[in-house]
Amino acid sequence: MKKIALTFIVFIYILAIPFFAGSAQEKMDHSKHVGVRIHESSIQGYSLAYHLLDLPNRKEDHLMVYIVNEKHEAVDKGKVGYLVAGPDGRKQKAMAMAMKEAFGADVDFTAKGTYTIGVKALIGNAKLLDQFTYEVK
C-alpha cells in the first residue's frame, strides 16, 4: 500500500512540474514583432525582447525592445535609452522612441565584431537596467 501511495505522489508531482514551471516563466509571443530577435531578458517581472531591423537605404539598423509587464501586457509608455559600445570602442547613445508596443532607435552596427548593448528603461516607478552582447559577423 505504501508503494502505491508513494508512486501516486511521485506521479502527481511529475505532472505538476510543467504547470508550475510554465506559470513562473512565460515565454514572450514574438509573432507580432518585426525584425530579427537578438536577445531576451527578464528583469523585475518584466520581459524584454530585442529585435533588429535592417532598413533599406539606411546605414543604421533599427534596434527595438518589446517590453511586457508581469500581467503579460505590452508596455507602450515609458522612456528607454541605449548605450552601445562597438568593437572599435566607439560608443553610441540613443533615446528610443515609443512605437506600437515597442521602443526603437537607430544604431550603427556596420563594423564587424562584438557590441555591448546597455539599456535603461524607466517604466512607471520601475527602473530596468539590462546589458548584453551582440556579434556582427
Indicate the domain borders of the chain. Answer: 28-136
Band of pLDDT at residue 54, cut at 50, 70 and 90: confident
pLDDT reported for residue 96: 97
CB 81 within 8 A of CB 96: yes
Task: Give the Cα separation of 47 and 57 in Å (integer).
Answer: 31
Give the Cα separation of 9 and 24 in Å (integer): 22
In this predicted model, what pLDDT tens digit does every residue of 81-134 receive, in sequence order?
999 999 999 999 999 999 888 999 999 999 999 999 999 999 999 999 999 999
What's 28-136's CATH class?
mainly beta
Q: Which of 6-10, 30-34, 46-50, 73-77 has the highest mean pLDDT?
A: 46-50
Cell 530585442 sits on residue: 50
Q: Which of 71, 72, 74, 67 is nearest to 127 (CA)?
A: 67
- pTM as predicted: 0.77
